Amino acid sequence: MNVKTAHKTIGYLATGGTISSTPASAGAGVTPSLTAEDLIAAAHPETDGVAFVAEQISQLASSSFDFRLLRTLHGRVTHLAREGVDGIVITQGTDTLEETAFFFNSVWDRTTPVVLTGAMRNPGEIGADGARNLRTAVAVASDPAFVGLGPLVVMNDEVFAAGAVRKAHTSAVDAFVSTAGTAIGMVTEGTPRLFSTPRRSDPQRYGAGDPKVALYRCSLGDSDDILRMIEDGDFDGLVIEGFGGGHVPAWQMPTIERIAGRMPVVLSSRTGQGSVLERTYGFPGSETDLRRHGLVPSGTLNGLQARILLWILLSRSAGPQEIREAYAAC
């Protein structure tokens, strides 16, 4: 693409995932292999008036993402925004896309649109969705209506706020759903339309640390064995996905109380949607009991989101008050 004749410049960071996955030999399982340039060529004919500044950041399945990679992505996205691109698109595997999206939603403090997308079907499958998702993501990232809204996720023609999206199906092309009700926009015939403006809390800053944050999910009849392993491990923080409104088995309370005496423990719900309760139930292991023992309610954040936020906070050694305030603002 000739940059001089293009109307928009889009920064594009490719990281791997199903969108780039092909088989190494006939019949073999697909693995990330197509490059940023290959994906642009498939999604965007030269006539579209978009110039790309493309970079291959990794060639990974997103199950192997870590916080180091998120820092790298944030650094590159910040660089592109400073260079003055109109928007930025990141492609990645869908398995952890909601966590990368929430990370960017938490830390992005500029108006340049950052749009994440991927694919549920690899390029060799009938009805592959990758090229279309990349193309619609570029349309959203180029559209002035989406400037200053915070990071976004575009999948299956729908536009989601990056702070309120999750993967809710193993294989369907409409696997991504909003945790806040509905998508905030839609792309039809290549034209994005914005329906509502997402609410965002103030951007967070991460620090130099790389804290270990455990995520424990409650399940019927479970002992406190896993929690005791967390207590004995070298974790810096814990997120508990409690039952329903935010409840744990009564017999886990002594262990949870000890852990909360040593590290921040955040209470979220395994339902994955809605605010964790704060003052309804009073039985042992209820949300009021857990709060009395120092647990921090996660607000509307599900366990995965609450864990990313705790990592951000602990990476800069945030204290108990700062941690409480950060979740209260969500």
Interface with ligand DAS (CB under 6 A), residue total: 11
Going by their DSSP bridges, the two strands 237-242 and 265-269 should be labelled as parallel
Binding segment for ligand DAS (CB under 6 A), chosen from 56-64, 152-160, 202-210, 275-283, is: 56-64
Question: In terms of CB distance, is 22 or 78 closer to ligand DAS?
Answer: 22
Q: What is the token pair recorded at 186?
A: 């839609």
Question: Of 9, 58, 62, 117, which lies in the binding site for ligand DAS, with binding defined by CB under 6 A?
Answer: 62
Q: How far is the CB of 272 from ligand DAS (least distance, A)?
A: 19
Span from 44-52, 60-68, 183-191, 193-201 in contact with ligand DAS (CB under 6 A): 60-68
Q: Give the β-pairing of 152-155 and 21-23.
A: unpaired
Instruction: Fill in the amino acid letter for 91.
Output: T
Quick one: which segment of 93-101, 131-139, 243-251, 291-299 binds ligand DAS (CB under 6 A)? 93-101
Query: Closer CB to ligand DAS, residue 47 or residue 170?
Result: 170
Nearest approach in angstroms of CB 62 to ligand DAS is 3
Residue closest to ligand DAS, measured at CB: 93
Stretch that binds ligand DAS, among 70-78, 91-99, 141-149, 238-246 (CB under 6 A): 91-99
Active-site entry in 5, 9, 15, 18: 18
How far is it, in rounded angstroms, from Cα 54 to Cα 90? 10
Taking CB under 6 A as the rule, does residue 94 contact ligand DAS? yes
Q: Which of residues 105-164 bind ligand DAS (CB under 6 A)?
A: 118, 120
Residue 185 C-beta: closest distance to ligand DAS, Å: 22
Choose one: 55-63, 238-246, 262-270, 286-294; the region binding ligand DAS (CB under 6 A).
55-63
Q: Which tokens hold the place of 288?
A: 């009021």
Does position 192 interact with ligand DAS (CB under 6 A)? The reply is no
Which of 57, 61, 161, 260 touches ligand DAS (CB under 6 A)? 61
Least CB distance from residue 101 to ligand DAS, whole Å?
13
Q: How far apart are alpha carbons 89 and 159 in whole angstroms?
A: 13
100 binds ligand DAS (CB under 6 A): no
Does 170 qualify as catalytic in the annotation?
no
Q: In terms of CB distance, is 86 or 129 closer to ligand DAS? A: 129
We find the least distance from the C-beta atom of residue 328 to ligand DAS, in angstroms, to be 32
Provide the binding-site residues for ligand DAS, judged by CB under 6 A: 17-18, 21, 61-63, 93-95, 118, 120
Catalytic residues: 18
